[in-house]
Structure 1
Amino acid sequence: MLHRVSFNAQRIASSNVGSIRNYLGYTSGLDKRKVTVIPGDGIGPEITSSVMGVFQAAKVPIEWEVFDVSGGQPISQELIASISRNKVALKGPLYTTILSGSQSRNMEMRKALDLYAHVIPCKKIDGVNVRHSDVPVDLVVIRENTQGEYSGLEQTLVPGVVQSLKIITKEASTRIARYAFEYAKAEGRKKVTAIHKANIQKMTDGLFLETCKQVAKEYPEIAFDHMIIDNCCMQLVMKPEQFDVMVTPNLYGNLVTNVGAALIGGPGLAAGANVGERAAIFEMGAHHVAADIAGQDKANPTGLLLASAMMLKHMKMDEHATKVENAVRKVIADRKVLTLDMGGSASTKEFTNAVINEINN
């Protein structure tokens, strides 16, 4: 079901977190940019409420189109049409059942909208205690988002024997490699590292690696190297400072992203974007629904707040993006109002209030 909504910041900060429907109200939106929002499962409604409250305080000219697909509800054509029309969406985490059930709804949206690049910056945030406290962690994972082991082509050959098809194409590999190098060029990055398992998967990962090598020749000003995925995971833990931009096939990108999130303090801190030619969906970099703390006012909304700032930059609303991002980083750096995962005792509402107060100061 679709709702067009506007939000009062103080009402969000003081109300029961997670009850998004309590905040529904019509706005004409004549001078506002429409954005699709999918609160999602688990802590999703709480952290999307936080973003909406912060946007209201920052006077971001946004009109939200809210779609509830929680509890395994299917992705509707109306939702896909909304994202296609609005070009941007903000999304909470969506739960995918294990062993049984339908295809991942995350993958369904990525494929329907051809969101081929998953971009996850993993940069240490001042004020967050991390294991590598003396090491500058500042890397970006760019993950091919539509193929690989996530192609969804599985079948039973005979009882007790199943087959899963891993699809890698030169076209998709070229597209994601070029995206990674263009990103590095635009952001002033110095190196791109391709992550693979071409020593074992010689045809699929071999094609990915060879394609990355070919594209690298078009960007002689940017250093290029490559690393096997298992060694990559070890090197990330031991020497994360050696990585800059990483380009990966689908599954490896998911693994590397979660390691990257751990390096900067946990799943509540990483931001992410799914980008295509026609649309982009912004979300937490690590897709944990955190069902164990859902509805308890304990969730850390930082990852989605930073993703929302990425969204605003994507929409050319740089002033608003800077206002939101700076407020979040200032609250964390002050270390007075931190959620449990950052070593504090603040609730989601209290952290959101602190960000709102910082914006209003």
Structure 2
Amino acid sequence: MSYDVTLILGDGIGPEVINATKLILDSCPIKFNWDIVEAGESSIKKYGTPLPQNVIDSINRNKIALKGPVTTPIGTGFKSVNVTLRQTFDLYANIRPVKTIAGVPSKYDNVNLIIVRENSEDLYKGIEHMVGDDAAESIKIITRKASERIVDFAFNLAVKEKRKKVTSVHKANIMKCTDGLFLNCSRKVAQNYPEIVYEEMIVDAMSMKLVMSPEKYDVLVMPNLYGDILSDLAAGLVGGLGMVPGANIGNDIAIFEPVHGSAPDIAGQNKANPTAAILSSVMMLRYLGELDIADSIENALNLVLKQEEYKTFDMGGNTGTIEFAKAVIKELK
């Protein structure tokens, strides 16, 4: 079996963690035809934009991409590459599994939840303007279509993953129209899944409960902004952003990427931990239906993370990015 996949190396440590992940995938008994393209800050000088048209064309052809972190320059007028990709391909579901990993320093040992973030609207529509010189206004967009679609996705995911509960996160006590609509859509969709426990949680209370008792939660579904914030909070429960994978999924196109940033301060030093990128590729394999290979890579990764000799710099060791990937390949074999 072979797959055509767009490979976006990204900025900073992106090329290092993605190439390390590619090394592992290329050692598997399936073939990947990589279409390697450039996007991010590094593309501006060459193409005049952080998101060249050839990247869009490649993703349109292949329908699937593995992507490294990219840097969008601040204050230059360029729109976020990540937001643009999500809007261009209607990648309406942002999925971030958050799970405790043995061997990774954490204050918790039983976190295993999935954050499902609506990806296409909310304040991330970027509809804002100045009101005179002393005020600014941003418009929050919540629609019935997008809300029902993401909540249905969350419940379907819960069924597929054999999860028991879906929690709808909102601020409808204050934003009665926008979040009120999201909450009403959640209640409507929940009626179609009587086998799944449904509950609701105000976003500030959810923040507290995640820190106090994260083991009580399975699947959390929420509008865009809350998902952005809570997914980073949840990553902190299991060792940080370097341990959390991510996926942006639409009807027929999906992009998989580590949650962390481009970390330019350690770029090119072979110091980056590729765990999040590797786990993102595991998500990609499961999306492709290659469940056995996905399980094998995740199991090999978990074995490596337990071993002191393979600790990367962020975990107090000195194993390099490529050396870590080779250790995973060794466990695979």
TM score, norm. by length of structure 1 = 0.87
Among 178, 184, 203, the alignment partner of 1:229 is 203
Q: Which residue does 1:349 correspond to in 2? A: 322
1:330 aligns with 2:303: yes
Among 64, 78, 81, the alignment partner of 1:102 is 78
Q: Which residue does 1:280 correspond to in 2? A: 254
**Is the contact made by 2:100 and 2:108 (CA closer than 8 Å) also made in structure 1?**
no
**Is the contact made by 2:40 and 2:51 (CA closer than 8 Å) also made in structure 1?**
no
CA distance in 2, matches of 1:153, 1:349: 42
Amino acid at match of 2:313: L
The structure 1 segments of at least 4 consecutive aligned residues displaced by more than 6 Å after TM superposition are none
Task: List per-residue Cα deviations over 1:16-36 (Å, max 9, x = no partner).
Answer: xxxxxxxxxxxxxxx631100
CA distance in 2, matches of 1:338, 1:349: 12
Among 63, 70, 73, the alignment partner of 2:40 is 70
Residues 1-361 of structure 1: pairs in structure 2 closer than 5 A: 32-71=2-41, 72=44, 73-133=49-109, 136-284=110-258, 286-360=259-333
Task: List per-residue Cα deviations over 1:260-284 (Å, max 9, x = no partner).
Answer: 1111111111011100002000011
Task: List per-residue Cα deviations over 1:146-186 (Å, max 9, x = no partner).
Answer: 10010111111211221111110000000000000011011
CA distance in 2, matches of 1:292, 1:242: 37
CA distance in 1, matches of 2:168, 2:87: 23
User: What fraction of aligned residue pairs are identical, expressed as a percent?
Assistant: 45
Gaps of 5+ in 1: 1-30
Pairwise CA distance, 1:85: 1.6
Q: Counterpart of 2:139 in 1: which secondary structure?
A: strand
**Is the contact made by 1:265 and 1:342 (CA closer than 8 Å) also made in structure 2?**
no
**Is the contact made by 2:117 and 2:227 (CA closer than 8 Å) also made in structure 1?**
yes
**Is the contact made by 1:168 and 1:207 (CA closer than 8 Å) also made in structure 2?**
yes
Amino acid at match of 1:149: L
**Is the contact made by 1:117 and 1:142 (CA closer than 8 Å) also made in structure 2?**
yes
Greater mean alpha carbon deviation, residues 337-346 or residues 302-311: 337-346
Q: Counterpart of 2:309 in 1: which secondary structure?
A: coil
Amino acid at match of 1:280: A
CA distance in 2, matches of 1:150, 1:189: 29
Q: Counterpart of 1:336 in 2: which secondary structure?
A: helix
Pairwise CA distance, 1:99: 4.3
TM score, norm. by length of structure 2 = 0.94
Q: Counterpart of 1:139 in 2: which secondary structure?
A: strand
CA distance in 2, matches of 1:40, 1:184: 31
**Is the contact made by 2:242 and 2:260 (CA closer than 8 Å) also made in structure 1?**
no
Q: Counterpart of 2:4 in 1: which secondary structure?
A: strand
User: CA RMSD, aligned part only?
Assistant: 1.4
Amino acid at match of 1:351: F
Pairwise CA distance, 1:100: 4.2
Amino acid at match of 2:250: G
Q: Counterpart of 2:137 in 1: which secondary structure?
A: strand
Greater mean alpha carbon deviation, residues 39-48 or residues 52-61: 52-61
CA distance in 2, matches of 1:97, 1:236: 32
Q: Counterpart of 2:60 in 1: which secondary structure?
A: helix
Amino acid at match of 1:78: N
Closer, same or farther: CA 149–48 of 1 in aligned 2, 3 Å: same
Task: List per-residue Cα deviations over 1:40-67 (Å, max 9, x = no partner).
Answer: 1121111001011111222431011011
Pairwise CA distance, 1:98: 3.3
Amino acid at match of 2:74: I
**Is the contact made by 2:37 and 2:54 (CA closer than 8 Å) also made in structure 1?**
no
CA distance in 2, matches of 1:336, 1:216: 47
Closer, same or farther: CA 63–335 of 1 in aligned 2, 3 Å: same
